[in-house]
Amino acid sequence: MDTLPAWRIEAGRFVFAELDGVRTLCLKAERQGKDHVNHFLVALEPLPRRDAMGLCYLDPDQPLSPAEGFSLTFTASAGDAQVGDVLETEAGLWLKLLDAQSSQRLYCFVNLAQGQIKPRLDRHRHQKLDWHLQRI
């Protein structure tokens, strides 16, 4: 499988990466800084605990393999959004995660279509959704 450095792969794409020695399906995410872009991965499979989902910092030169044939499906759910849940807002679908360890914030939100990271969605109306990874 061909690999590319992380900086060459668009945010919001599914990729395979070696995390702790395990080939893992991930979503590539980015956080825009003032003068730079920070690259992250969100592990999706294997995923032992959704309530521990978080950002994994990614060296921009780390090799990643683009992954084809995957999609996420969603169903409406009741209750308050927890880590690992998806929120549907007017601005799109957002995955609630634990922020990177170096961050001062506890949570962050990743736009599933664009892979961009936001620090909060506190003031937006939303619908909580359950999600499932699907092979297409």
Q: Are 57 and 88 members of one domain?
A: no
- Among residues 49, 66, 83, the one where a domain terminates is 66
Element (H or E) spanning 45, and its range? strand 37-45
Average pLDDT of the residues in 30-59:
90
Contact indicator for 62, 71 with CB cutoff of 8 Å: no
Contact indicator for 76, 70 with CB cutoff of 8 Å: no
pLDDT of residue 28 exceeding 90: yes
- Among residues 40, 66, 92, the one where a domain terminates is 66
The range of the structural domain enclosing residue 103 comes to 70-135
Contact indicator for 113, 12 with CB cutoff of 8 Å: yes
**For 71-127, how does the pLDDT look when each residue is reduced to its tens digit (9 = 90+)?**
999 999 998 889 999 999 888 999 999 987 776 778 999 999 999 999 887 666 788
Q: Are 74 and 103 members of one domain?
A: yes
